[in-house]
């Protein structure tokens, strides 16, 4: 049923680009810490090379992924097909948080649409690429993107988004360091 891949093949890359949603999961090192699982959408995922991917991280109510990556680097992506042939693809890797002012930020940021509220790019070196059947994943019809996060960021303005991050994104729910207050 499932298959391991040494890298993202052209066929997998094509399939990944067709998916409208993906999920990102991280965890702190402490067994008592909270796990994080976040859905991601819009045009925020890129394949940088056959063993490296990135996604544009938009300002949100929490900063768990950033905090967990800064603590231990572990991350997994899950994509699943909601139309067409059933498939689940998991990308396991080690991630890094690249924020404004870091050397690669501008070149990576340029790979994505100019969404307001972008706070970082998460770049991940893949360690394991595995698919599974997805036979139990239901069919869903894609009807369009939600624009609430974009409208929220535009209504806040650049300074308002920065202030929001200072209030909500400096540490994780477990108290791990998140964003630098200047970002």
The per-residue pLDDT for range 77-118, each reduced to its tens digit, is: 999 999 989 999 999 999 999 999 999 999 999 999 999 999
Q: Enter the CATH code of domain 3-168.
A: 2.30.110.10
**Encoding tokens for residue 85?**
């042939």
pLDDT of residue 73: 98
- Cα 138 to Cα 82, 86, 141, 180, distances in angstroms: 6, 9, 10, 40
Given a contact cutoff of 8 angstroms between Cβ atoms, the answer to whether 37 and 100 are in contact is no
Domain boundaries, the chain: 3-168
Q: What is the DSSP string of 126-144?
A: EEEEEEE--TTSPP-----
Q: Which residue ranges of the chain lie beneath pLDDT 50?
A: none
pLDDT of residue 32: 85
| Euclidean distance between CA atoms 1 and 133, whole angstroms | 6
pLDDT of residue 22: 98
Residues with Cβ within 8 Å of residue 121, at least 6 apart in sequence: 54, 55, 56, 57, 98, 104, 105, 108, 109, 112
Tokens 């399939």 correspond to what residue?
Answer: 15
pTM of the predicted model over 0.75: yes
pLDDT of residue 1: 65
pLDDT of residue 65: 97
């Amino acid at each position: 049923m499932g298959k391991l891949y040494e890298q993202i093949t052209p066929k997998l890359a094509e399939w990944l680009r067709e998916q409208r949603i993906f999920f990102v999961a991280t965890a702190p090192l402490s067994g008592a810490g909270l796990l994080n699982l976040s859905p991601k959408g819009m045009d925020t995922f890129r394949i940088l090379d056959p063993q490296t991917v990135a996604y544009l991280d938009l300002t949100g109510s929490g900063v768990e992924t950033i905090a967990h990556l800064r603590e231990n680097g572990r991350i997994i992506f899950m994509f699943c097909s909601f139309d067409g042939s059933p498939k689940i693809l998991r990308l396991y890797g080690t991630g890094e948080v690249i924020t404004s002012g870091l050397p690669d930020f501008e070149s990576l940021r340029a790979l994505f649409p100019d969404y307001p509220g972008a706070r970082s790019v998460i770049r991940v070196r893949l360690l394991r690429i595995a698919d599974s059947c997805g036979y139990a994943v239901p069919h869903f019809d894609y009807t369009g993107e939600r624009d609430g996060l974009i409208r929220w960021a535009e209504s806040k303005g650049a300074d308002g988004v920065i202030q929001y991050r200072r209030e909500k994104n400096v540490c994780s729910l477990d108290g791990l360091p998140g964003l630098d207050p200047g970002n």
